[in-house]
Structure 1
Amino acid sequence: MTPAARASAVITLLDAVETALAEDSLPADKIVSNFFRERRYAGAKDRRAVGGEVYSVIRSRALMSWALDEVGLERTGRSLFLARLAFKSGDIDVFGADHPHAPEALEDGEVDAFKAMKNLEWTDAPLAARLGIPDWASEGLIQRFGYDLSRALTALNTLASLDIRVNPLKRQATYGPGIQGFQAVPMSPIGFRAAEPVNIRTHDAYRSGEIEIQDEAAQVATYLVDAAQSQQVVDLCAGAGGKALLLSALMRNRGQIYAGDVSAIRLDALRLRSKRAGCRNVQIMELPESGKERDRKLMDLYGKCDRVILDVPCSGSGTWRRNPELRWRLNDERLRKMVEGQRRLLAEGAGLVRRGGRLIYMTCSVMPQENEDVVDAFLALNAAGRWRRIDFRNIWTKAGLRGAPPPSQAANNLDLQLIPHHHGTDGFYVCVLERGQ
């Protein structure tokens, strides 16, 4: 692809992302993958260049939107790309270039706007625009990070590295992943991190189930479940099963893991991954979102489970490095409803735990409203010693994690809150609750 053709592709994709945000439809990564699936002539370098530019614009969308407001341009894929060129002091010759796939030539008003944006004092933009803070998230981010807000958001706006783990059922961690360019991560004993971008899905080790893609934070969270090989575990919001599969391997295919989710598509992916990974103790349950049928499917598990994992649906604010457009999909009302759902799931999951068993509540969020606040509200309703928090540091070494427990960014000393600029992982929260005898 020529530079002009790449520019046209970026604009087309940005328009599609803007439409998806307005309609709350496809995620950006799906939009990009669909685009190139229909254009197989595009080479790997073109895909990386176009995709990288699209995500750069998404990460800086708030700042680009501020610039467009300053010069009176409506936000579109074309104008966002133009603002990005102005920010980078780029060349506008790609517009109207002598190429069949070039973007249309700029109108006089667009040229004037481009020149005006090049002369903007970008550092004078509001803090929320420079850091990409949506209105709904400002209170929670300030509460979490305080004076460290700028450093935290800079990390959340930086492209994440690729983390993988070996599958203990098929490969020993001491042998490494069998792929060049990976280094061991500091906390997970089976995790590795790539220094450069790698298309891991093309490697035999991935296709054979010897390795899996999983951020180190999720690996750590799964280790903190600390399930014995004979125990009965429920993963109530299993999704595509990353934690269930790792737990299956850590339990050496013994005991029983019930992996439930409301999405048939995600559970179909789990079935394929489970077969590839050689997991035989994972029982998959498709659950309705609510109602009597959901209660019926869970009835036999009430009060009988040694461990219940609740990786609840959340804002995904801890994954903005990978999914930067997520921040623009929420608002105050949606966050409120999400928190209500998290509280309902926590109450439901608690009912499945046997006496002396544990519930592990987790999110890929950095928002206190979704993390400590949800657990605090649950404990306030379940006083008199029925439930207690377990200090994650007391589980760390026994569970098999590497090194000393890291400093947590949680509001208390008992829960684990991982954040990118301190731990090098996604933002991830884990609280271990134990039911009284």
Structure 2
Amino acid sequence: MKLYAAHLHAIAEALQNIFREGAYADREIARVLKADKRRGSNDRAFIAEHTYAIVRYYRLYAHLAGVEPQSKADWWRLIGIHLLLNDYQLPDWREFQGLDREELQSALEAARQDRALRESIPDWLDALGASELGEEWEATIAALNEQAPVVLRVNRLKADAVTVIESLGREGIVVEPLADDALLVTERKNLFRTKAFRQGLFEVQDYSSQQAAPALEVEPGQLVVDACAGAGGKSLHLAALMENKGRLLSLDIHGWKLEELKRRARRNGVANLETRPITSTKVIKRLTAKADRVLLDVPCSGLGVLRRNPDAKWKLSPESVDRVVEEQRQILADYSRMVKPGGKLVYATCSILPRENGEQLAAFLSSPAGEGWELEEERSLLPQRDGYDGFFISRLSRTR
């Protein structure tokens, strides 16, 4: 593919803002893509794909460049290294002077002997992963550096899998059934411009994430609380499983996320959902022992979804992981009180760390807050073994 200076300039600008200004990669890439309306779908795909790839292997490329990028010229050098190592022929531009494919390949082979360099992660994260996951860590972090598959969830309130497959097929998008209501997209295209999406026939949701709502074993007519709803992908799934019957309360500390959820709910045809921002502890206390089911998809390190958010590994720190573990402990102790005797709770994270998952549950069950609770099921999903995002899902029942 021919390389265009405008494309590479856009990538360099995005990288500068992600690493030097602290911008989130997905938002920054979206901003850059919107900046020039003349770009076609292929141009946009090229910029997004290569920006994400360089973010993913930032440490490795910076090592090969021999410099921590600061200037515009430094970012162009990183782009050149990435392109050369991915078999592109570089133009004879001054920004790429001095880059040699054979020298880079030799340096790459030497760097690959160091796992933290090879997988392009901070040393502290490599040590933490090895400590927490043992022999599983090497395969796990390698899988988390692969490009994530795109999976859809059929919205059963409006369609079935056959309807969605046929509708997308008419727009040239091929999807394959996975299981239940999950469909695998075989070719990356802009799904959000399709008629099927505008009609609310599907949501984009990773297959691992799709396991959380069914694990709650909801039934139509129940009072169900999604207590850390965010923008509500799992709330929408719960509404479909409830067949729009009963009461679904979606809570979150961020009101703007709940506004996004309400917009999505309208498109999905959800009629039993109520959003409620958590503005004080009173919101939770008023629901004490009233809910049939509670979903706690708690804040976490996000290490299970690095394929989708590769910049997260540069924003995390040992201290931030410690803070989120404490936050999970507090949420589990406080929010579990909403479940009435005989009810059930699902505790889920998009993390691969046992300290956020099984160990967090064990601590809860052995604490005063965990009295009267029993663990029914727990599953740890790993990308190299299960094929999709790293995820943890558990279900507990309240006996008294």
Same fold (TM > 0.5)? yes
Alignment coverage as a number of residue pairs: 390
The equivalent of 1:307 in structure 2 is 293
SS, match of residue 170 in structure 1: coil
Stretches of structure 2 lacking an aligned partner (at least 5 in a row):
none
User: How far does residue 378 in structure 1 lie from its aligned partner after superposition?
Assistant: 1.0
The equivalent of 1:435 in structure 2 is 398
Quote the Cα distance in structure 1 between the aligned partners of 2:101 and 2:83.
8
SS, match of residue 348 in structure 2: strand
Q: Which amino acid aligns with 1:81?
A: I
The equivalent of 1:120 in structure 2 is 107
Pick the aligned partner of 1:276 from 259, 264, 267. 267
CA contact (8 A) 1:349 1:359 kept: no
Partner deviation per Cα, 1:235-283 (whole Å, 9 max, x = no partner): 1110111111111111111111110111122111101111111111111
Partner deviation per Cα, 1:266-321 (whole Å, 9 max, x = no partner): 11110111111111111100113xxxxx2222232111111111111111111111
CA contact (8 A) 2:144 2:307 kept: yes
Relative distance call for 1:79 and 1:248 in structure 2 (3 A) is: same
Quote the Cα distance in structure 1 between the aligned partners of 2:332 and 2:64.
43
> Does residue 193 of the first structure (1) align with residue 184 of the second (2)?
yes
The equivalent of 1:418 in structure 2 is 381
> Does residue 215 of the first structure (1) align with residue 206 of the second (2)?
yes
Partner deviation per Cα, 1:305-341 (whole Å, 9 max, x = no partner): 1111111111111111111111111101111111111
The equivalent of 1:184 in structure 2 is 177
CA contact (8 A) 2:250 2:274 kept: yes
User: How far does residue 370 in structure 1 lie from its aligned partner after superposition?
Assistant: 1.2
1:157-306 aligned within 5 A: 157-177=145-165, 178-180=167-169, 181-186=174-179, 189-288=180-279, 294-306=280-292
User: How far does residue 345 in structure 1 lie from its aligned partner after superposition?
Assistant: 0.7
Quote the Cα distance in structure 2 between the aligned partners of 1:45 and 1:169.
34
The equivalent of 1:78 in structure 2 is 76
TM (norm. structure 2) is 0.91
Quote the Cα distance in structure 2 between the aligned partners of 1:310 and 1:140.
25
1:87-166 aligned within 5 A: 87-88=85-86, 90-93=88-91, 95-96=93-94, 105=95, 111=98, 117=104, 119-125=106-112, 126-143=114-131, 145-166=133-154
Partner deviation per Cα, 1:126-182 (whole Å, 9 max, x = no partner): 111111333343344224543343332222111111111111111123544332311
Partner deviation per Cα, 1:3-26 (whole Å, 9 max, x = no partner): 2222222222211211243xxxx3
The equivalent of 1:336 in structure 2 is 322
Relative distance call for 1:88 and 1:197 in structure 2 (3 A) is: closer
Quote the Cα distance in structure 2 between the aligned partners of 1:429 and 1:332.
20
User: How far does residue 198 in structure 1 lie from its aligned partner after superposition?
Assistant: 2.2
User: How far does residue 383 in structure 1 lie from its aligned partner after superposition?
Assistant: 8.0
Pick the aligned partner of 1:369 from 338, 350, 355. 355
Quote the Cα distance in structure 1 between the aligned partners of 2:266 and 2:150.
23
Quote the Cα distance in structure 1 between the aligned partners of 2:344 and 2:123.
36
SS, match of residue 216 in structure 1: coil
Q: Which amino acid aligns with 1:417?
A: S
Quote the Cα distance in structure 1 between the aligned partners of 2:33 and 2:397.
48
CA contact (8 A) 1:6 1:50 kept: yes
Quote the Cα distance in structure 2 between the aligned partners of 1:51 and 1:386.
49
Residue range with higher mean Cα deviation, 221-230 or 4-13? 4-13
CA contact (8 A) 2:64 2:108 kept: no
User: How far does residue 377 in structure 1 lie from its aligned partner after superposition?
Assistant: 1.3
The equivalent of 1:100 in structure 2 is none
The equivalent of 2:17 in structure 1 is 16
The equivalent of 1:65 in structure 2 is 62
Quote the Cα distance in structure 2 between the aligned partners of 1:156 and 1:330.
15
Q: Which amino acid aligns with 1:63?
A: L
SS, match of residue 314 in structure 1: coil
Quote the Cα distance in structure 2 between the aligned partners of 1:5 and 1:118.
27
CA contact (8 A) 1:420 1:426 kept: yes
Relative distance call for 1:80 and 1:32 in structure 2 (3 A) is: same
CA contact (8 A) 1:385 1:436 kept: no
Relative distance call for 1:276 and 1:88 in structure 2 (3 A) is: closer
SS, match of residue 38 in structure 2: coil
User: How far does residue 382 in structure 1 lie from its aligned partner after superposition?
Assistant: 3.3
SS, match of residue 333 in structure 1: helix
The alignment's C-alpha RMSD in Å is 2.2
Partner deviation per Cα, 1:45-80 (whole Å, 9 max, x = no partner): 111111111111111112112223xx3564642332
Relative distance call for 1:347 and 1:123 in structure 2 (3 A) is: same
Partner deviation per Cα, 1:219-238 (whole Å, 9 max, x = no partner): 11111010111211111110
Quote the Cα distance in structure 1 between the aligned partners of 2:108 and 2:232.
47
